[in-house]
Amino acid sequence: MTSTGTVLDAIIAGVQEDLAARRARIPLEQIQEEAAAAHPARDARASIAGDGSAVGLIAEVKRRSPSKGALAQIPDPAALASIYESSGAGAISVLTEERRFGGSLADLDAVRAAVDCPVLRKDFMVDPYQVHEARAHGADLILLIVAALEDSQLAQMHALATELGMQVLVETHTEAELERALALDAQLIGVNARDLKTLDVDLDRAAALLRSIPAGPLAVGESAVFSVAHVRAYAAAGADAVLVGEALVTGSDPAASVRAFSTVPRTGRTPRLSTPSANGETAR
């Protein structure tokens, strides 16, 4: 749920304007037909989880961010995605939001054509049209941000994605948002260390929230991963996987980073709410 004047509100306002323009060009009925005709969605959860011994990696194609501005030009997103896949990424995340992140559905199309692993459409999903659109462009997985949606919207789009054969990464950053995600029976739960309403990062809070996710869902740590030590910190808090963008697109050797990040051992999670909040090794 949103509050007036936040960064998230401003992003969503732009997303809705851009969505209205796309809907005017391609009516819902057409995008539904294209979604129905798309190649069946791949099993993103299984690909990200791997054999369970190491932290899974969702590697992101990311040109810009609201907090950092321009990160990388990425003239060939397909080539970058191919590097990610060949280096061990379990899935590729493609930002399709244009105004703040410099992404596009064309990037999603290019990546989908270049890789065999599952692809996540990373955007601010606020309307069922976008869910059909994601499937029409070959996405296997979508992101739903709990903070951006009312319960009815969240449930409707989660159910629609499932009906279309996709899986959903449900993103949270507070205990209340986690409870809402669990109420959906979400099978992939993201914990974002960055508060999208303020852009502040709190890794201790993220670690505590990861520790409170029960066994069953795949827990994904998001934001502020720049080194193997950061991946280990997320793993120590119970993350089964991490989503990494900035470190890969700004680093000199994305292939080496993907290999290093995706070999960190997974530690698992203890029973819910039985451990104290995060301390010690966290990313700074």
User: How far apart, in whole angstroms, are the C-alpha atoms of residue 188 and residue 167?
Assistant: 8
97 a catalytic residue: no
Asked if 36 and 235 count as a contact pair (C-beta separation under 8 A), the reply is: no
Q: Which of 241, 238, 180 is nearest to 214 (CA)?
A: 238
222 a catalytic residue: yes
Report H helices in 26-100.
28-37, 44-49, 77-87
Catalytic residue among 122, 246, 257, 262: 122
Catalytic residue among 47, 62, 177, 262: 62
98 a catalytic residue: no
**Torsion angle, alpha carbons of 108, 109, 114, 116, to 10:** 70
User: How far apart, in whole angstroms, are the C-alpha atoms of residue 219 and residue 170?
Assistant: 10
What does DSSP assign to residue 147?
Answer: G
* CA 6 to each of CA 13, 195, 198, 263: distance values in angstroms, whole numbers, following the listed order: 11, 10, 7, 37
Catalytic residue among 85, 97, 177, 222: 222
Spatial CB neighbours of 175, under 8 Å, sequence gap ≥ 6: 209, 212
User: How far apart, in whole angstroms, are the C-alpha atoms of residue 259 and residue 280?
Assistant: 25
223 a catalytic residue: yes
| Biggest CA pair distance of the chain | 53
Spatial CB neighbours of 10, under 8 Å, sequence gap ≥ 6: none
Catalytic residue among 47, 65, 93, 223: 223
What's the N-to-C CA distance of the chain in angstroms?
A: 29
* CA 232 to each of CA 164, 267, 272: distance values in angstroms, whole numbers, following the listed order: 35, 9, 20
Catalytic residue among 47, 60, 85, 87: 60
Catalytic residue among 171, 177, 246, 257: 171
192 a catalytic residue: yes
Catalytically annotated residues: 60, 62, 122, 171, 192, 222-223
